Structure 1
Amino acid sequence: MKGHDRINSSLPDELILEIFRYLDTKPSRDAASLVCKRWLGLERLSRDTIRIGASGSPDGLVKMLSSRFPHVRNVFIDERRSITLPFQFGKRRRADHSALSPLKLQFAAGKTGPEDYETETYYLSDAGLAVVGDGFSKLEKLSLIWCSNVTSLGLRSIAEKCNALKSLDLQGCYVGDQGLAAVGEWCKQLEDLNLRFCEGLTDTGLVNLALGCRRKLKSLGVAACAKITDVSLEAVGSYCQSLETLSLDSEFIHNKGVLAVAKGCRVLKVLKLQCINVTDEALEAVGIFCNTLEFLALYSFQRFTDKSLCAIGKGCKRLKNLTLSDCYFLSDKGLEAVAVGCTELTHLEVNGCHNIGTFGLESIGRSCASLSELALLYCQKIGNFALSEIGRGCKFLQALHLVDCSSIGDDAIISIAKGCRNLKKLHIRRCYEVGSKGIVAVGESCKFLTDLSLRFCDKIGDEALVAIGNCHSLRYLNVSGCHHIGDAGIIAIARGCPELSYLDVSVLQNLGDMAMAEMSEGCPMLKDIVLSHCRQITDVGLSYLVSRCTLLETCHMVYCPGITTVGVATVVASCANIKKVLVERWKVSQRTRRRAGSTISYLCVDL
């Protein structure tokens, strides 16, 4: 009956709160909260996560949010990106102080002109952090990314008031030892700690934290902390025996620290190291003591040899994910040891390890049948036969990334296509021996392909995309720099891949308006398109494209001489969801700038 509330009169608060918990996205929750005041209040009570970017008054914003959402358990504050202060909240734009809210006026004092309001950025302070502690007493996860004004005083206030804290991310915060020691003293439930780029910390702070959180700490990340040395890692190894994840990026860590962790943290599962002063001795200890290791990433090591990987292969039988980046003294022998010993391997990345060649990867193909993702970057010595072995032995491969692998050509891709029919992602960049023949095989055999990137592979032409048109689940396509591709290839994609949401056709000189018209007809789900350096696409093609691709959110079209101010205005006016348009400044009319200035980005201000 009209005017009769059948829901609120029948459903108790507990049931409505349970319904809110099933609404995963913030827009859905916001929409539901607008039904009535009761639902608004209940939604606020049910919300457990808030995210705050840089703002004109983060302290005031935190205070307001804490009063509205008292049961929040997760707070994320990220000040890497600043925002501009709005000029007005009414109908007309004004340049005087009355156009600003009282909250922002307190920060505007002393500025000389309205333009200063647009560029000034303000930061969370210790007082604001104290408000977080007072308002969110049930806080379990706190992330403070590049909050440069936060000090030990603010961190101590959080520690004293939020004893249930389990995760703390202090990336880029200049906090001191006293604050970290307070966390160790009061937050005994802490499990996850990120100290990347915390330049104010020394061994004193981390040792005290390890002593305080010894029973619970499971994850620790340290990077660019010049005063944190082996002393800290020795404390972690001695006290934090439950540690499962360790990420280290430091030139001040040596074997002594890593050895202490390997011997003391026997349940370690994830180890990421970028430590130029660590040698084989440390990795051999990891292989001996860390039998539960599942993820190992080694970056920029100049002192590791095959002895390290042999120890890992012998001792870490559960290893599933291995990344080797710029480790110049590792060879096929080490990779073979991993293949033979770590048969559960599912992810492998080899990046810039110039002594690893075909034989090492053949071993992976023969022994690691569960491999699902393979990335080979700047591997000049790995040839076709290596991927042929992967195709024969790794039937579950779903993702393959190849970058600057000059010895890999069509024969390798054909082997992958025929052997790995469940392939979903294929990314190839600057592999100049890969041509249409290999990609045709992918289109014929890999029907589940959803993500294809063929950047600057200049032997690939239209016939390749005609075959890819048979992959009806394709959602992502990047053929930037494949200058033999023209209208015929893109038209085949438009007619065969209705779920396509991302398309990059930049630097395709033979692509014209006909392809854009076909994309409009066949790909209504398109959200992102990159058209830069396409000289034959004009305003007419753009008008065709946006007539039916109404979900478009981003459009890059710099250095397209056929696109004028009319085309830019058409995109802005036709796409209600548009978020970013990248174009030359001179192609944006005053009217378009007024209408959608916040969505337009400029590559070059002088064009």
Structure 2
Amino acid sequence: MKMRGHDRINTVLPDELILEIFSQLGSKSSRDACSLVCKRWLDLERLSRDTVRIGASNNPDALIKLLGRRFVNVRNVYFDERLSISLDGHFGRRRRGDPSAPSSQKPHHATEKSVSEDGEIDSYCLSDAGLTAVGEGFTKLEKLSLIWCSNVTNAGVKYLASKCSSLRSLDLQGCYVGDVGLAAVGECCKQLEDLNLRFCEGLTDAGLIELAVLCGRTLKSLGVAACAKITDVSLEAVGSHCRFLETLSLDSEFINNKGVLAVAKGCRSLKVLKLQCIIVTDEALQAVGVFCSSLEVLALYSFQRFTDMSLCAIGKGCKRLKNLTLSDCYFLSDKGLEAVAAGCSELKHLEVNGCHNIGTSGLEFVGRSCPRLSELALLYCQKIGNYALSEVGRGCKYLQALHLVDCSSIGDEAICSIAVGCRNLKKLHIRRCYEVGNKGIIAIGENCKFLSELSLQFCDRVGDEALIAVGRGCPLQHLNVSGCHQIGDAGIIAIARGCPQLSYLDVSVLQNLGDMAMAELGEGCPLLKDIVISHCRQITDVGLAHLVKKCALLESCHMVYCPSITTAGVATVISSCISIKKVLVEKWKVSQRTKRRAGSIISYLCVDL
């Protein structure tokens, strides 16, 4: 920027252009790097920052005040106190001689508190004082997420709402906020579109009804889960006042047909419906099919009181349906799936999980009737056989992702059909499908030239021959062959030589894998970021050293129960990988020197009791 005391660029670059540069940078690290050019760029970057994300940290209330002064144009604030994150630098550290100041030596979870030496309780959770700072510091706030912020109360939410009238999205998941706070949001935030009330145990019908009345014209998305005092009465208010609601996610043991019927009849613009309501019956789902013709996404979990009649109504009335998830719906059969396939030809995503009465014929019909299918997941589907996937292979040439878990009747014949018919396949995840072997995976390697993710967990008939074919034909970035005990050095060497873009590798529990494969991975896969080699008995410190010597981008390494890897090997990983963020290893293999050098990134399989 400067040369011999002369600023040759800054003098001719207007602020607007620099702000545009910052707006085009995708990652926080890139923005931070550019802000170091000079003080002017730092100030402009702060002006351009519109999003702040905060995990559980020491003294979050004070942190918010600091961020509010520095980033005045922030519109999106995300708190998630499930994440333990301590602050670097002086802020939040315990000063000498000041025992009441918060310490950053130990990360605290959302519900933890510590007692200082003078008896004062220091909270590590965001409180009402922090929410007050949010309201005063981020007056342009549009999106606020408060996940598991257990110290926030009605008073804090009420004050925030009064200051942030432009709020459009509010996530209160796991907060103990009651009706008074929610009513204040409805009264002050007239532009509210998105509201998440999952695990808000303090709410009753009164609060949600008042919000529905006040924000009914703008509310587009609502999520409710584990709120025992929210009943059908609330949903009737939503159906009456929230005419433009597009997304409803509902998980409740207390909601009955009456509430779902009210939403189906009143919210004709509904596009996304996710239900886990065990006492809802066919009557409610049939109403969805009749009244919600714009429905695009439907997810039904753990339904025990509805039958194929519901899916027949969905297939008949919801012609725009693109995404269907059926999980643990025990009374559904092939007839219901056939009805959806026949009526919803635009279906792109289908997941069938634990629906034990759905078999081969239902999925055959999907293959014949849904040519736009791009993702298929079959989990714990014991009755679905090879011929079903053969029909998918013939009819769904745009399929890009296939997930199979514990499908005991699916084998090589099915995988070969997918390989030949679905040549655009990018993701293939198979777990515990014991009939899948070399033949099917070789066909994948020979035909699916865009495959970037392959997972073959505990498919014990797959061996080196299959991986050699994949290495020759597929540009893999993600490979998981955990538990495939027939795979050894030859297969992984083929991947190392044929897949230079590989960034994730799990070879855990491969007893025949040794140092030669590790050396080849180091030479051939310089972009490797994550590796799991746990339970690999033949890998030694020598192989590990060859791997980390060339894989400069390595960020995580899991290596528990590797008897030939010693304290020296662990130290080699720590010292050689400048980007390393996590090492999982037995505690006794970590020397005191390694602990001092990188204690924060080391995780142990077992801890002292």
**By the TM > 0.5 criterion, same fold?**
yes
Question: Cα–Cα, structure 1 residues 33 and 596, in superposed 2: closer, same or farther, change >3 Å?
Answer: same
**Greater CA deviation, 465-474 or 221-230?**
465-474
Q: Percent identity?
A: 77
Tell me which of 341, 344, 364 is aligned to 1:342: 344
What secondary structure sits across from 2:224 in the alignment? strand
- Match among 166, 176, 188 for residue 190 of structure 2: 188
Is the 2:116–2:122 Cα contact (8 Å) retained in structure 1? Answer: no
Q: In 2, distance between residues paired with 1:2 and 1:59?
A: 45
Structure 2 unmatched ranges of 5 or more: 106-111
1:589 and 2:594 equivalent? no
8 Å Cα contact 1:530-1:556 kept in structure 2: yes
Counterpart-to-counterpart distance in 1, 2:104 and 2:366: 60
Match of 2:531 among 529, 532, 535: 529
Q: Distance in 1 between matches of 2:535 and 2:375?
A: 32
Counterparts of 1:387 and 1:484, CA distance in 2: 26
What do residues 360-419 of structure 1 show as CA deviations (whole Å, max 9, x unaligned)? 000000000000000000000000000000000000000000000000010000000000
Cα distance in structure 2, aligned partners of 1:28 and 1:104: 26
Report the equivalent of 1:59: 61
Structure 1 residues 512 and 270: alpha-carbon distance in aligned structure 2, compared to 1, 3 A threshold? same
Q: Give the deviation of 1:509 after TM superposition.
A: 0.3
Give 3-state SS (helix, strand or coil) of 1:97's partner.
coil
Paired residue type of 1:128: G
- Measure how far apart 1:15 and its partner are: 2.0
2:43 paired residue among 19, 23, 41: 41
The residue matched to 2:84 in structure 1 has which SS? coil
1:468-487 to structure 2, matched below 5 A, reads: 468-487=470-489
SS of 1:80's equivalent? strand
Displacement of 1:28 = 1.3
Rate the CA distance shift 1:8–1:288 in 2: closer, same or farther, 3 A.
same
1:306 to 301, 305, 308: 308
Deviation of 1:605 (Å): 2.9
Match of 1:330 in 2: 332
Cα pair 1:322 1:348 within 8 Å, conserved: yes
Q: Which residue of 2 aligns with 1:409?
A: 411
Alignment of 1:121-520 (within 5 A): 122-520=124-522
| Change beyond 3 A, Cα 1:109–1:529 | closer
Q: CA deviation at 1:81?
A: 2.4
**Is the 1:339–1:367 Cα contact (8 Å) retained in structure 2?**
yes
1:111 pairs with one of 110, 116, 120? 116
* CA apart distance, 1:18: 1.8
- The SS at the match of 1:586 is helix
Structure 1 Cα separation of the partners of residues 494 and 324 of structure 2: 38
Q: Structure 2 vs 1, CA of residues 392 and 8 (structure 1 numbering), >3 Å: closer, same or farther?
A: same
Contact 2:316 2:343 in 1 (8 A): yes
Query: Judging changes above 3 Å, is the alpha-carbon distance between structure 1 residues 407 and 171 closer, same or farther for their aligned structure 2 residues?
Result: same
Shift of 1:89: 5.1
| 1:147-205 Cα distance to aligned partner (Å, 9 max, x none) | 00101111111111111100000000000100000111110100000000000000000
Query: Match of 1:124, SS?
Result: coil
8 A contact 2:114–2:122 mirrored in 1: no
Distance 1:513 1:95, change over 3 A: farther
Amino acid at match of 1:358: T
**Cα distance in structure 2, aligned partners of 1:103 and 1:111:** 10
Deviation per residue, 1:277-301 (Å, 9 max, x gap): 1000000000000000000000000
How many residues are treated as equivalent by the alignment? 600
In structure 2, do the counterparts of structure 1 residues 102 and 110 end up closer, same or farther at CA, with 3 Å as the change threshold?
Answer: closer
Q: Which residue pairs with 1:97 in the alignment? A: 97
- Per-residue deviation, residues 306-332 of structure 1 (Å, max 9, x unmatched): 000000000000000000000000000
Give the TM-score taking structure 1 as reference length: 0.96
- Structure-2 residue corresponding to 1:31: 33
Q: Report which stretch shifted further, 15-24 or 43-52.
A: 15-24
> Which one of the candidate residues 533, 539, 542 is aligned to 1:540?
542
SS at match of 2:7: coil
Change over 3 Å in CA distance of 1:84–1:49 after alignment to 2: closer
Answer with 525-534 or 24-33: which moved more: 24-33
Asked if the contact 1:447–1:470 (Cα under 8 Å) also holds between the matched residues in 2, the reply is: no
- What is the rounded CA distance, in whole Å, between the counterparts of 1:291 and 1:261 in structure 2? 13
Residues 297 and 110 (structure 1), Cα distance of their counterparts in 2 relative to 1, 3 Å cut: closer
Deviation, 1:111, is 2.7
Q: Which moved further from structure 2: 13-22 or 294-303?
A: 13-22
Contact 2:99–2:117 under 8 Å retained in 1: no
Alignment-derived partner of residue 14 in structure 2: 12
AA matched with 1:231 = V
Taking a change above 3 Å as real, the CA distance of residues 110 and 338 of structure 1, as seen in their structure-2 partners, is: closer
Letter in 1 for 2:556: T
1:100 Cα shift? Answer: 8.4
Q: Deviations over 1:545-576 (max 9, x none)?
A: 01101110000000000000000000000000
Task: Give the TM-score, by structure 2 length.
Answer: 0.95
| Contact 1:398/1:425, CA 8 A, preserved across alignment | yes
2:84 maps to: 82
Decide whether aligned partners of structure 1 residues 53 and 97 sit closer, same or farther in structure 2, where only a CA change above 3 A counts: farther
Q: Is the 8 A contact 1:398 1:420 kept in 2?
A: yes
Residues 476 and 121 of structure 1: CA distance in aligned 2, closer, same or farther (over 3 Å)? farther
Is the 1:84–1:121 contact (alpha carbons within 8 Å) kept by the matching residues of 2? no
Secondary structure in 2 aligned to 1:473?
coil
2:56 and 2:452 mapped to 1: Cα distance?
A: 36
Per-residue CA deviation, residues 512-565 of structure 1 (Å, 9 max, x unaligned), is: 001001111111110000000000000011011011011100000000000000
**In structure 2, do the counterparts of structure 1 residues 306 and 95 end up closer, same or farther at CA, with 3 Å as the change threshold?**
same
